[in-house]
Amino acid sequence: MVVTGLGAVTPIGNTREEFWRRTVAGESGIAPITAFDASLFTTRIAGEVKDFRPDELLGRKEARRLDRFSQFAIVAGREAIEDAKLPDDAECKRRTGAVVGTGIGGIITFWLNSEKANENGTWSKVTPFFIPMLMSNAAPAHISMSYGFQGPVFATGSACASANDAICVAYNYVAYGDADAMITGGSEATVSPLAIGGFCSMKAMSTRNDDPTRASRPFDKERDGFVLGEGAGILVLEEYERAKARNAKIYCEILGYGQSADAFDLVAPDPDGNGVRLAFERAFASAGVTPQEVDYVNAHGTSTPIGDPAESRAIEKAFGDRAAHIGVSSTKSMHGHALGAAGGIEGVLTAMAVHDDVMPPTINYEYPDPECTLDYVPNVARRAPVRVAFSNSFGFGGHNSVIVFGKVR
């Protein structure tokens, strides 16, 4: 299984190339919220996608019928599909599908139309596109309709593991011969009063409002919560021999995956990392690799007091002596936590890390935490061989999903 196309819309770049370049440079996309007046919230910062012009990218009529999360998915999907140069013929369209994850879906549509209904005291101001814009499967559906793809098309929803789970499902469709190619990843757009208010009530987010670029600091002792992000990351998966036969550009191979559940708590991770360790073990078995072959882990690393140590402990347990020799970075330090899109966005980066032999940094790492003792590729990207890499995503509900990327063998 190989990756032949990549597309991205993120807080630090609206194309794959810009996103990768600015990630390697260690740039932060965290800034004061502009989508609404956040002055009354305890958290007033986020990783917003900037300079995104849906009317120009999609056409004004089409853009108005799409929630922001679908807009992101379509634009990132278009880049990935064009990058892959999939054949434009009837057979390819019949045998290509799209599985895209999202944790929340059209929450911005929900917020805006609720505001309209409350202001006017009537449902008549609610857009007739409200339901189609709201539904989580809108993103893959629109990708399918844009290109005439008639393979399996639907959304996955497992909180912050949604995109990784989508990639797992897409992998299986190609592996089992049910599709020749799959468009997959995740998209999310939740920078709204509802989402910010909900996470503020949970006291889950950073309140470092006066220093936004340094607010997301995974594994650092001074971390005080995650920073919300948004965007989309889309990958095109194909069977290797098919991709090779059509002389496709190949970024890397997807070797396998591992999934598990903590069975512990709805929002808190198992502090001992036992569920995550199980996902790692299943990933090793699926991919046919050993800990000694792994060079890099793109961590879930949300910058929360509880989550980061739990993930570090899980890596230590699963990788044993090898753990101390693996680069482990959290790119959420730069683009924030995009919830259900995280695995797609970070999947793009992990594929590029394998392709270019570069480990992205964890920026804002200044004060080591005695509970987090791994090599977090602090502050500066590292050029080093990346033979095999893991990309981790964990979601509320105890959902754990790990994708294994590697050089084509």
> Choosing from 335, 337, 355, 399, which is the catalytic residue?
337
Cα atoms in the Cβ-side hemisphere of radius 13 Å centred on 106: 21
- pLDDT score for 119: 79
Per the annotation, the verdict on 337 as an active-site residue is yes
Query: Tens of pLDDT along 33-83?
Result: 999 999 999 999 999 999 999 999 999 999 999 999 999 999 999 999 999
Residues 235 and 270 in one domain: no
Q: Using an 8 Å Cβ cutoff, are 66 and 57 in contact? A: no
Task: Please tell me whether residues 291 and 348 are part of one structural domain.
Answer: yes
251 assigned to some structural domain: no
Residue 252 lies in a domain: no
Q: What tokens were used for 225?
A: 């919560």
Domain shared by 318 and 206, yes or no: no
Let me know if 285 is exposed, middle or buried by CB neighbors in 10 A (0-12, 13-18, 19+).
Answer: exposed
- Domain count along the chain: 2
- Domain final residue, candidates 245, 267, 298: 245
48 in a structural domain: yes
Same domain, 235 and 268: no
Specify whether 201 is located in the same domain as 336.
no
Catalytic site residue from 160, 200, 252, 372: 160
Q: Residue written as tokens 């008549």? A: 124
| Residue 300 annotated in active site | yes
Q: Which pLDDT score, from 0 to 100, does residue 122 have?
A: 75
Range of the domain at 123: 2-245
Of 224, 245, 266, the last residue of a domain is 245
Across the range 380-396, mean pLDDT stands at 98
Asked if residue 263 and residue 227 are part of one domain, the reply reads no
152 found inside a domain? yes
Amino acid at 2: V
Residues 203 and 331 reside in one and the same domain: no
Q: Is residue 8 a part of any domain in this protein? A: yes
Quick check: is 12 in a domain?
Answer: yes
Rounded Cα distance, 109 and 52, in Å: 17
Give the whole-angstrom CA distance, residue 312 versus residue 294. 16
Q: Do 209 and 261 sit in the same domain of this protein?
A: no
Active site residue 355: no
Residues 233 and 345 in one domain: no
The Cα–Cα gap between 401 and 235 comes to 16
**DSSP E strands: which ranges in 122-251?**
153-156, 181-188, 231-238
Please classify residue 199 by burial: count the beta carbons closer than 10 Å to its beta carbon, then call 0-12 exposed, 13-18 middle and 19+ buried: buried
Q: In this predicted model, what pLDDT tens digit does every residue of 118-165 receive, in sequence order?
A: 877 777 888 999 999 999 999 999 999 999 999 999 999 999 999 999
Q: What is the pLDDT of residues 229-285, one digit of tens each?
A: 999 999 999 999 999 999 999 999 999 999 999 999 999 999 889 999 999 999 999
Is residue 207 assigned to a domain? Answer: yes
Among 115, 154, 110, 116, CA closest to 131: 110
| Predicted TM-score of the model (pTM) | 0.97
Helices 16-24 and 342-356 cross at an angle (nearest 10°) of: 70
**Rounded average pLDDT over 345-372:** 98
Q: Is residue 70 part of a domain?
A: yes
Of 198, 213, 245, the domain-final residue: 245
- The alpha carbons of the chain give a radius of gyration, in whole angstroms, of 20
CATH code (residue 352): 3.40.47.10
- 303 with 223: CB under 8 angstroms? yes
Number of H helices, E strands in the chain: 15, 14
Question: Quick one: 227 and 121 in the same domain?
Answer: yes
Distance (Å, whole) CA 248 – CA 236: 11
- Residues 208, 216: contact at Cβ < 8 Å? no
Selecting among 300, 335, 355, 399, the annotated active-site residue is: 300
Does one domain contain both 261 and 234?
Answer: no
Instruction: Give pLDDT tens digits for 167-217.
Output: 999 999 999 999 999 999 999 999 999 999 999 999 999 999 999 999 999
221 plus 102 within the same structural domain = yes
